[in-house]
Amino acid sequence: MQGQMTTNPIRKIIIDTDPGQDDAVAILLALASPENVDVLGITTVAGNVPLPLTKKNARIVCELAKRPETKVFSGCDRPMQRPLVTAEHVHGKTGLDGPVMQDPTMALQHQHAVDFIIETLRQEPSGTVTLCPLGPLTNIGTALQQAPDIADRVQEIVLMGGAYFEVGNITPAAEFNIYVDPEAADIVFKSGISVTVMPLDTTHKALTTKPRVDAFRALNTQVGNMVAEWTDFFERFDKEKYGSNGAPLHDPCVIAYLIQPDLFSGRMINVAIETQSELTLGMTVADWWGVTDRPANAMFMGDIDADGFFNLLTERLGRL
């Protein structure tokens, strides 16, 4: 609804990310939407590729958006209790494979990402900062472990991760972001914070079909061309795997939800994380059908107005 887009207050957000082409598009969408979100900082984490690349890639994206003043922080270089698993098979060696890109010149902040998250939540008025994790939940889980007092101060966590009907993408049972650091995810889902989840069930409906990618290219801008080239690169993997018409643009769903929540629908349910089983490690055990008496702890999205989402995204990218 148009009214909803203009009347929602500006939300202060921290984007926690492991860019990743789809993370990059999410960052661009946020930086292009100052009337909806105020990006207090971008905290990077190891995930799709190791930390040295994710912290570099986040700055490449800020410079592409002509926002070099954005604060970018370096965070955890490995999951809380496990060795790192990466996804170069999807995102390429750099994490942003596709177009040729210059190394960034903007500075990285000196403060550790986890300290920035804790300090910001303690400094800002309680209930006014939303966390937007787009990668493994290591930075957020570590912050909550080090400073349990911040849980009560978070407005909401809106994250990309997990799956129920779609089950898994990195293993038959688990989605990548949750699988990489299940202990961190477990902390988040048990934190009592209001959590909104964009699982594969939703993001697999946000496909980069040819007309949608043509619309990015038709913007005829550096950003439009870059996003189209990123998409061309990473969609080869999903097209081959799923036989679909394009790749899911996972992470921008998180930012789109903050801008236009009525694009999404879901259910308030209980979500628990499997941390023990070797076979189903990182599974989001989502009680979609309400068959347990476990209390609801998350808004688990199941559907998206995909055309509305791509229209919003293309319009916003056109501003950069």
Q: Which of 134, 184, 207, 317 binds Ca ion (CB under 5 A)?
A: 134
Task: State the nearest-atom distance from the C-beta of 94 to Ca ion, in Å.
Answer: 14
Residues 167-186 that bind ligand BDR (CB under 6 A): 169, 175-177
Q: Which of 11, 20, 39, 137 binds ligand BDR (CB under 6 A)?
A: 20
- Using rule CB under 6 A, residue 238 touches ligand BDR: no
Complex with ligand BDR: residue 247 or 272, whichever CB lies closer: 247
Strand order in the sheet with 72-74: 72-74, 37-44, 11-17, 129-133, 154-160, 195-198, 298-304, 264-269
Query: Count of residues binding Ca ion (CB under 5 A)?
Result: 6
Catalytic residues: 250
Stretch that binds ligand BDR, among 18-26, 109-117, 219-227, 281-289 (CB under 6 A): 18-26
Residues 42-61 that bind ligand BDR (CB under 6 A): 48
- Using rule CB under 6 A, residue 160 touches ligand BDR: yes
Closest to 308 (Cα-Cα) out of 265, 264, 263: 263
- Using rule CB under 6 A, residue 155 touches ligand BDR: no
Q: Which of 23, 181, 201, 235 binds Ca ion (CB under 5 A)?
A: 23
Closest to 202 (Cα-Cα) out of 135, 252, 250, 260: 250
Stretch that binds Ca ion, among 132-140, 213-221, 229-237, 288-296 (CB under 5 A): 132-140
Residue 175: contacted member of ligand BDR, Ca ion, none (CB under 5 to 8 Å, by partner type):
ligand BDR
Cα–Cα distance measured from residue 17 to residue 236, given in angstroms and rounded to the nearest whole number: 22
Contacts of the segment 309-314: beta carbons below 8 A, 24+ positions apart: 309/206, 309/252, 309/253, 309/256, 309/263, 310/206, 310/212, 310/215, 312/256, 312/259, 312/260, 312/263, 313/25, 313/29, 313/249, 313/252, 313/256, 314/212, 314/215, 314/216, 314/219
Q: Which of 11, 20, 187, 299 binds Ca ion (CB under 5 A)?
A: 20
Rg (CA), the chain: 18
Complex with Ca ion: residue 15 or 219, whichever CB lies closer: 15
Cis-peptide, bond into residue 141, ω within 30° of zero: no
> Where on the chain is the footprint of ligand BDR (CB under 6 A)?
20, 22-23, 48, 87, 90, 134-135, 160, 169, 175-177, 250-251
Residues of this chain that bind Ca ion (CB under 5 A) = 18, 20, 23, 134-135, 251
